[in-house]
Structure 1
């Protein structure tokens, strides 16, 4: 294998509340210097030399490509009697957007993003149709960036209007029903604010169709509260313009509104930021709200905007034993998705809160899309599970039937495998669920290779979903395990709170306990356990790697958050302060962040397991500096012979919009690294 030269260390030191902290690789944060470019290039040569020499890597790629080559559809979006959906025939770099006049009728291309770039690195990441379906506002991003440009297309002619809307990130689009234009949120033009404020000062604008962005009208801003962000949407009756108001990734939100045609100030309907609030729908001035106020697992209340005081609210659907994950009004009924032990159930309620019935789902799994409007007589869902490829179903309200709309994937035999759910006990006695998927007839002889996946943060649940990577893993005899760690929302807001800020160590303890349980129950042994996670999950596996290097046989650390003392200084990192804390400005938070920050807890002279650190050069969400500094720190600390590799994907970002060709190459490298490590 190609050899790496020792990474240069400098004497950078920073004082945190009286504690001096060395940061010898801070120079790697600057990606534009020649020294950093040369360092990344050298890392690339070493990583590619190692990966390309893996026996059977090409065969892995071919099998991955074969399994990935199946049609994938989105749930139809119905507008004025026509249906809009996306489809990837299998190996297209990007899915194509289509329309059809009936579900059985011919399809017409609305927009093909594969025509926007030769290599598929320009992706379609926002599509919002006007109320009558005649206009499409769509956002595109390049090389995986979160920044997007918004354009408008006439659906019938395929003609794009001249205007291009810039400076949009995490933007919502809300068409007026008369098609005269739309509301959208954006960030400041680069250069007009300090660099550290580039993700602050969100504002809402009105864009009149067929006019330049320079003519757009400012609708709302809060320069006095620069951290707040605003996402506009219009009620289905076209009467009210709402703003979802959020502060970073804090799940506690606010709701403002006014009538669409009004020029009066927005009414701050729910402005306490003491819980999550989401508008489900409305009947005139009666608003239906999903909230976890005084109900950590969620409930539905009715709020009359003429009498909005909390004591006037009517509770329609009280908190249940299971978590209310999503809610929508279709066919004048509440369609509610509940999470029971980390998998979904779908239930219908009348507008007065009366329970109607449950819609039986195909198996234990997840609903990842739900589409339908208030007066529709049909509902579409996309359902998936570990052994159930994402499938679009149509629910007929009159017949009360759920039927698949598209053909199922057929390149593997799901009857040869099984998924079970087990529960294990974490360090502090907490009961934690975990899904195990593997071949039937598995021998618990302590020798099975296991890949444990986790996330554990930001109120995000790890419900069952299909992916080719774990399928190919179990096809080779492995066990795929997904641990439902604290920090997610599997059991409501308290589950989330128990895995954030000063309780973040609970998440790592949960993940460590998952591996220990698998060993104790004779599924595997330490040297046969691989762990994998991305983003916040990259933080998870990095923290567990440095805390328990003896427990694992391999580590896949993807687009990770690593430097917990400085993460908030990069791009949108400040959005995560409510989840992680702020070491710079809070001494108590510095103490617990410093205690687990992977970058600051690597110990020299330790035998670390084979580790593949992965990032992308255009990741502007979790900047690649995290991965660079981690690799630079871990490599010289390694006392053993196992490789510590840094893989940097070019023209790619945090993951969204990644072209198929890059997905196949990247996932094949991951599997090749693991198969080679475990001699599979």
Structure 2
């Protein structure tokens, strides 16, 4: 086996299974990697090994008494019509609907007429196996065409199809090999055209392209902006049919570059891009208001973000004026400028987050003066705040007990109102009305007493370096004494933990458990500085914060050690595995879903090469030492480590983000070193990946994971 990393070399040959005895020399240090052969996903040796893990998991799952009840409860909570925010084009309303008993959302076109509703794209019809997902969509300005993005088997690398909005039939051959591309249609273009991005560097093309819908004619896509640096993610947006905004995010959102171009009277193939900011250690989100003002939500001189404004012809920071200042207690997570095109009365909506709970307010778009605070249905999360062509804004709201609802705001409204509403051809059932008490728990025959509510409280713990770290605890009113508890964490990429709807969390609470979230460094719960203080060589701080949170739950009487299960996915899976590796006494069980685990080789797996700004690189001696200090795979291989708690790993064969090699290798390392009486299990799925999946498969995954947690923490069916 040969390594191409310059600082290292392989000093031992592989075993008959394909590499079991590999040892790599990195920066003068011997790094064992006995299970590198499991990086080959489709080899006969890997297939045989996975078959044995699948038999072990199936045998263990049969003994979990809460599995059926949790699955039924989760499905009950998901049994509502789920709409996306509407997009209106020339009188036609486009929206996706996942019906109460549906597996996937389908794209609908709605009109006020009696004929009302037609299906533009249904992934279940397109692919009856259920393995194709509708990842994104964007209608053209005249509503005649829709660009639809799909992917199969969870790979998240899919196809972009242009469909006739009336018939649903394709009008040209699809574009392939795209990953969640942005689509920005040009107005009144003949032939129709749009900008899109290529963000995977497997084909060497990263940048923004102009595509003209060619029908049966030859395809001619024009590169309008090439990413100058590797490992960047391009983005594109077109506002008011005139202002082209292009971004390049470097790695994982620590910083980005922004350009703007005025397309009025210019060729869309050669947009006159003007830098807004390039090369700064800042991240900005740009938008252009209806009066032509350029707004920027930015971390420049504001770790929790502020909102600035300028003119498109003078977009650099030297010309910015501050509209909304940084708030030291909340993060500015979104904004929308409402009002009619060309000016007129409007409002600036500001979305702020305080420890996972959203706050929405309306301001004067010129000077930022507070007009009024906008009430939300409860203590929950607002997402997808976007201005609309009619001068208003759409947003989505959800909380622990409220499935996502779509709300609309118009300037002058005292509160957002539910959508769909009167005059819409199709209206959802339970989603049409916001519950009067969103924390009220739905009754059940063997569930909590009538009127029980989800209680939320915040504890504070002190990490190793003295930093105070908040921990949110959710439970049902009236639960006294220590009880089975799941502690969740993420701690990566500057992403905050927010409290939206989770049928799984609700089912766990109804079964008698508690659910806690540790807002550790590395996440975005307290802004950019909070993120960077838990990134790269400081990533160990996220782990230290998490272990301090677990200790606080025990000290405060929320749970005992034998009642605590750690849970995290992706970067959160790395977090919980590292915490258990360094503190095996910390808990009874660990759930690590699609985790990172081998932090010496993470750059070679999935999208790991994009994440060196978050974790560092093993090519750097200092970074390498930091990575190795918390790499769960290597800690599990250490002979002097005490026995682990029970561990459930999940892996998805189509995972192109973290790569399923991580949970495969981690499971093998734990089994090889011996775990004592506690089970080490791998739940492995084919035909899915890191992202969306059919509802039934999502329910099965959640029920299995939480039934495992119940079995290992003593959560009784009769509790």
Q: TM-score, normalised by structure 1?
A: 0.92
Q: Is the 8 A contact 2:211 2:221 kept in 1?
A: yes
Q: Write out per-residue CA displacement over residues 179-232 of structure 1, whole angstroms, 9 at most, x where no aligned residue.
A: 5111111257xxxxxxxx517540322111134796232323547523333222
1:231 aligns with 2:235: yes
State the secondary structure of the residue aligned to 2:546. Answer: helix
- Cα distance, 1:256 vs structure 2: 2.0
d(CA) in 2 for partners of 1:306 and 1:8?
60
- Cα distance, 1:562 vs structure 2: 0.7
Which residue is 1:243 aligned to?
246
d(CA) in 2 for partners of 1:69 and 1:149?
30
d(CA) in 2 for partners of 1:207 and 1:132?
17
Q: Write out per-residue CA displacement over residues 448-477 of structure 1, whole angstroms, 9 at most, x where no aligned residue.
A: 000111111111111111111111111111
Which residue is 2:425 aligned to?
none
Which residue is 1:191 aligned to?
none
Which residue is 1:360 aligned to?
375
Pick the aligned partner of 1:267 from 240, 262, 274.
274
- Cα distance, 1:107 vs structure 2: 3.2
Structure 1, unaligned runs of 5 or more: 1-5, 189-196
Which residue is 2:343 aligned to?
none
Pick the aligned partner of 2:335 from 307, 314, 327.
327
Q: Write out per-residue CA displacement over residues 554-574 of structure 1, whole angstroms, 9 at most, x where no aligned residue.
A: 111100011111111123211
Runs of 4+ in 1 over 6 A off after TM superposition: 6-9
State the secondary structure of the residue aligned to 2:155. Answer: coil
d(CA) in 2 for partners of 1:347 and 1:651?
43
Instruction: Number of aligned residue pairs: give it.
Output: 661
Structure 2, unaligned runs of 5 or more: 1-15, 340-345, 420-431, 444-449
Q: Is the 8 A contact 1:187 1:198 kept in 2?
A: no
Q: Is the 8 A contact 1:187 1:200 kept in 2?
A: no
Q: Is the 8 A contact 1:281 1:328 kept in 2?
A: no
- Cα distance, 1:56 vs structure 2: 5.1
State the secondary structure of the residue aligned to 1:37. Answer: helix
1:110 aligns with 2:124: no
Alignment of 1:270-289 (within 5 A): 270-282=277-289, 286-289=293-296
Pick the aligned partner of 2:442 from 407, 412, 417.
412
Which residue is 2:131 aligned to?
121
Q: Write out per-residue CA displacement over residues 588-637 of structure 1, whole angstroms, 9 at most, x where no aligned residue.
A: 11111111111111244622111110011111111100001100101122
d(CA) in 2 for partners of 1:163 and 1:119?
22
- Cα distance, 1:169 vs structure 2: 1.2
d(CA) in 2 for partners of 1:371 and 1:72?
18
Pick the aligned partner of 1:460 from 495, 504, 515.
495
User: 1:301/1:579 Cα in 2 relative to 1: closer, same or farther (>3 Å)?
Assistant: same
1:28 aligns with 2:65: no
User: 1:517/1:473 Cα in 2 relative to 1: closer, same or farther (>3 Å)?
Assistant: same
State the secondary structure of the residue aligned to 1:416. Answer: coil
1:442 aligns with 2:479: yes
Q: Is the 8 A contact 1:84 1:99 kept in 2?
A: yes
- Cα distance, 1:319 vs structure 2: 1.7
State the secondary structure of the residue aligned to 1:225. Answer: coil
1:550 aligns with 2:550: no
Q: Is the 8 A contact 2:120 2:167 kept in 1?
A: no
State the secondary structure of the residue aligned to 1:401. Answer: coil
d(CA) in 1 for partners of 2:302 and 2:396?
28
1:184 aligns with 2:196: yes
d(CA) in 1 for partners of 2:58 and 2:17?
19
Q: Is the 8 A contact 1:78 1:84 kept in 2?
A: yes
Q: Is the 8 A contact 1:77 1:372 kept in 2?
A: no
Pick the aligned partner of 1:617 from 653, 665, 674.
653
Which residue is 2:101 aligned to?
91
Q: Write out per-residue CA displacement over residues 123-182 of structure 1, whole angstroms, 9 at most, x where no aligned residue.
A: 000111112332210100001111010001122232321220112113111100115111
Deviates more, 1:206-215 or 1:272-281: 206-215
